[in-house]
């Protein structure tokens, strides 16, 4: 089903999707880089199967929030629970201890992340990009993982690209491989950090179609993007971040139709009139 | 003029020379491999180690880059016995050459690692790799591409630096030439043959290096390797941008 088809379904999105229990719980998270307070007491709960779109101006903290969830940045305060893990810490007798690198790595395996610049491994082929982590980290059987990787490549519409190197693919193709690579670890939550921002306009839809497909299959997704079409079509909730905090949090109809915050109105008027 | 082609050609395939050339080859390869290991460890210590480890690595690099390899070899072979450490000629030559090489390679490897895009660390952490896994599976293989050309250059140098081991009586090419020269006093012919052998070894290495570089460049291939789809996308984009 493409994005266009989906908009024809009345009441689409959350209405035809069953949401499960909370799977990402962010409480009062703070993060600063030196004097710069990038996140100020951010709290957010995402339920299983939910698609949350985060937007906001650059520097509003949205990418940092995503990177904190996946422990690519360490938080200065607050709590992040995701996929059953207390991210970055262990709790012992009510006290918190930071985890070691290898322990954080285990937590990260349950979250998938897609980056603005794809960040495929350029020295190995497409199929090796997808199988590397399951084979070398989860120690699964190579033949079995390869079979799954081929399935994933079909799912993202690149069945004939398994032996290509990343450099030989267009940006849109690379991003779809990056999605397949993340999915190969069977993550419980997928995080997208501006997945289409580095793409030429005509390649954006091929990536968004794959993401829409994922959301329809019940994947929990947190997506930082400026693609408001995607937000309308696929999101259960749209969030606006401003100055390191969440200023608007609403279903897409309300977010686009009748937002409460002045910031949202300003943001929408800027982004929709360009 | 007293140059003799007969001696020259005879020396070229003389058993002593051939054994010397072979020794030069394996001495270079073994010292290089050990030096590479030392270089990787020193680079890692310097980049990611605690303050003490960093200091040890810095000291090692400073010491071995700051003193002549000739003195290092002589100290290891003829000086250390004074402290009760007795090493054979072969052991001394390998240890000296490898320690010296490692100090140079540490810097080469460090710059190779630093040349890998930061996004690669993000991506490998995001799929749940530990530090060791991302180093081994993602960062070092990519650094290799940057490291190979200077590494090849270093090995070229190593093939010739082994000649210094002749002073501790390691029987490599240089020493073979010396011995030959003392037998029949054909000094010019002996050393010229040694020089020719060095040229041959270095040239063969040059060819091998080209192949290794090509292998590591393959994934990053030339523009000709762009897929038809990617090219079509590109053309479409250009068309769209079209007449401004």
Q: Give the pTM.
A: 0.82
Residue B84 contacts A where some CB pair is shorter than 8 Å: no
Taking CA–CA distances from B224, the nearest residue in chain A reads A168
Residue A5: its pLDDT value, please? 40
A-chain CB neighbours of B117 within 8 Å are: 119
Closest residue, chain B, to A137 (C-alpha): B129
Q: What is the number of alpha carbons within 13 Å of residue A157 lying toward its C-beta?
A: 18
Q: How confident is residue A1, by pLDDT bands cut at 50, 70 and 90? A: very low
Give pLDDT, residue A186: 96
A6 band by pLDDT with thresholds 50, 70 and 90? very low
Binned at pLDDT 50, 70 and 90, residue A113 comes out as very high
What are the b/e assignments for A19-31, b being 16+ CB within 10 Å? Answer: beeebbebeebbb
DSSP A96: E
Are A166 and B123 in contact, with CB atoms under 8 Å apart? no
Closest CA to B60 of B43, B47, B83, B37: B43
Q: How far apart are the C-alpha atoms of A148 and A262, rounded to whole Å?
A: 47
Interface check for B219 against chain A (CB to CB < 8 A): the answer is yes
**A168/B227 Cβ within 8 A:** yes
pLDDT tens sequence across A173-205: 999 999 999 999 999 999 999 999 999 988 999
CB < 8 Å to A126, chain B: none
- CB distance B50 to B195 below 8 Å: no
Residues of B in contact with A170 (CB under 8 A): 227, 229-230, 233-234
B120 reaches A (C-beta below 8 A): yes
Which residue in B has a C-alpha nearest to residue A130's C-alpha?
B127
pLDDT band at A53 (very low <50, low <70, confident <90, very high): very high
* Angle, vertex CA A195, rays to CA A258 and CA A244, nearest 5: 55
**CB neighbour list of residue A188: distance below 8 Å, 6 or more residues apart:** A23, A48, A82, A83, A84, A110, A111, A220
- Between β-strands A77-82 and A89-92, what pairing exists: parallel, antiparallel or unpaired? unpaired
Rounded to whole angstroms, the Cα distance separating A247 from A266 reads 12
**pLDDT tens per residue across span A147-156:** 999 999 999 9
Does the structure show a pLDDT above 70 at A7?
Answer: no
Percentage of chain A with pLDDT > 70? 93
Res A14 pLDDT > 60? no
Q: Average pLDDT, stretch A263-272?
A: 89
Up-side HSE of residue A133: CA atoms within 13 Å toward CB?
A: 31
Contact list, A164 vs chain B (CB under 8 Å): 227
CB contact under 8 A, A170 and B230: yes
Q: Which residues of B touch A117 (CB under 8 A)?
A: 119
Write the residue in A133, A200, A201 that is nearest to B129 by C-beta: A133
Query: Are B233 and A203 within 8 A, CB to CB?
Result: yes
Provide the H-helix boundaries in B88-136.
Answer: 89-114, 118-126, 131-134
B226 touches chain A (CB under 8 A): yes
Q: What pLDDT does residue A36 have?
A: 92
Instruction: Judge: A132–B137 Cβ closer than 8 Å, yes or no.
Output: yes
Q: What is the DSSP letter of A163?
A: T
Question: Could you report the per-residue pLDDT of A218-244, keeping only the tens digit for each?
Answer: 999 999 999 999 999 999 999 999 999
Query: What stretch of H or E contains A101?
Result: helix A101-108
Among A111, A119, A133, beta carbon nearest to B119? A119
Nearest-Cα residue of chain A relative to residue B133: A137
A with B: how many residue pairs have Cβ under 8 Å apart? Answer: 111
Closest approach of chain B CAs to the CA of A190, in angstroms?
Answer: 11
Q: Do A125 and B127 touch (CB under 8 A)?
A: no
Q: Distance (Å, rounded) from C-alpha B85 to C-alpha B69?
A: 19
- How many angstroms separate the CA of residue B132 from the nearest CA in chain A? 9
Q: Given pLDDT bands bounded at 50, 70 and 90, which one contains residue A94? A: confident
Cβ count within 10 A of residue B182: 11
Question: Which residues neighbour A27 within 8 Å (Cβ) at sequence distance 6 or greater?
Answer: A43, A78, A79, A80
Closest CA to B92 of B176, B63, B100: B100
Using the beta-carbon criterion (under 8 Å), do B133 and A136 form an inter-chain contact?
yes
**ipTM tops the 0.85 cut:** yes
Return the residue in A69, A120, A123 with the most chain B beta carbons within 10 A, the one to mutate for interface testing: A123
Give pLDDT tens digits along chain B (244 positions).
688 898 999 898 999 999 999 999 999 999 999 999 999 999 999 999 999 999 999 999 999 999 999 999 999 999 999 999 999 999 999 999 999 999 999 999 999 999 999 999 999 999 999 999 999 999 999 999 999 999 999 999 999 999 999 999 999 999 999 999 998 889 999 999 999 999 999 999 999 999 999 988 888 876 445 555 666 666 666 666 655 4
């Amino acid at each position: 089903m493409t994005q266009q088809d989906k908009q024809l379904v009345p009441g689409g999105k959350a209405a035809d999707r069953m949401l499960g229990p909370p799977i990402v719980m962010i409480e009062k998270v703070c993060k600063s880089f030196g004097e710069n307070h990038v996140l100020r007491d951010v709290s957010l709960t995402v339920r299983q199967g939910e698609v949350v779109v985060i937007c906001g101006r650059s520097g509003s903290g949205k990418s940092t929030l995503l990177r904190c969830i996946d422990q690519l940045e360490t938080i200065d305060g607050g709590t992040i629970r995701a996929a059953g893990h207390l991210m970055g810490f262990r709790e012992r007798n009510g006290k918190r201890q930071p985890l070691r690198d290898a322990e954080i790595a285990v937590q990260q395996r349950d979250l998938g992340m897609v980056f603005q610049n794809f960040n495929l491994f350029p020295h190995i082929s497409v199929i090796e990009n997808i199988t590397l982590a399951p084979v070398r980290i989860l120690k699964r059987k190579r033949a079995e993982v390869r079979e799954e990787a081929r399935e994933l490549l079909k799912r993202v519409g690149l069945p004939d690209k398994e032996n290509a190197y990343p450099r030989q693919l267009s940006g849109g193709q690379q991003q779809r491989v990056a999605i397949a690579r993340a999915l190969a670890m069977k993550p419980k939550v997928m995080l997208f950090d501006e997945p289409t921002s580095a793409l030429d306009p005509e390649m954006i839809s091929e990536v968004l179609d794959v993401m829409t497909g994922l959301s329809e299959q019940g994947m929990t997704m947190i997506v930082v993007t400026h693609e408001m079409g995607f937000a309308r079509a696929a999101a259960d909730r749209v969030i606006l971040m401003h100055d390191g905090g969440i200023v608007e949090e609403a279903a897409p109809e309300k977010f686009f139709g009748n937002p409460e915050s002045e910031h949202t109105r300003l943001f929408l008027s800027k982004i929709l009139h360009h | 003029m007293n140059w003799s082609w007969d001696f020259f050609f005879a020396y070229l395939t003389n058993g002593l020379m051939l054994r010397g050339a072979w020794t030069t080859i394996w001495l270079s390869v073994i010292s290089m491999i050990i030096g590479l290991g030392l270089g990787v460890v020193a680079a890692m210590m310097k980049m990611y180690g605690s303050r003490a480890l960093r200091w040890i690595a810095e000291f090692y690099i400073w010491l071995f880059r700051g003193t002549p390899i000739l003195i290092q070899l002589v100290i290891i072979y003829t000086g250390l016995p004074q402290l009760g450490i007795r090493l054979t000629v072969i052991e001394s030559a390998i240890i000296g050459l490898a320690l010296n090489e490692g100090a140079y390679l540490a810097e080469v490897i460090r710059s190779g690692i630093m040349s890998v895009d930061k996004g690669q660390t993000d991506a490998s952490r995001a799929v749940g790799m530990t530090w060791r896994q991302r180093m081994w599976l993602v960062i070092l293989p990519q650094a290799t591409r940057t490291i190979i050309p200077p590494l090849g250059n270093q090995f070229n140098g190593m093939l010739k630096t082994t000649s210094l081991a002749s002073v501790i009586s390691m029987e490599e090419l240089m020493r073979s030439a010396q011995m030959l020269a003392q037998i029949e006093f054909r000094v010019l012919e002996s050393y010229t043959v040694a020089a020719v052998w060095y040229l041959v070894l270095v040239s063969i290495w040059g060819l091998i290096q080209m192949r290794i570089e090509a292998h590591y460049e393959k994934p990053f291939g030339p523009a000709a390797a762009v897929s038809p789809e990617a090219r079509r996308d590109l053309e479409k984009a250009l068309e769209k941008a079209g007449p401004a």
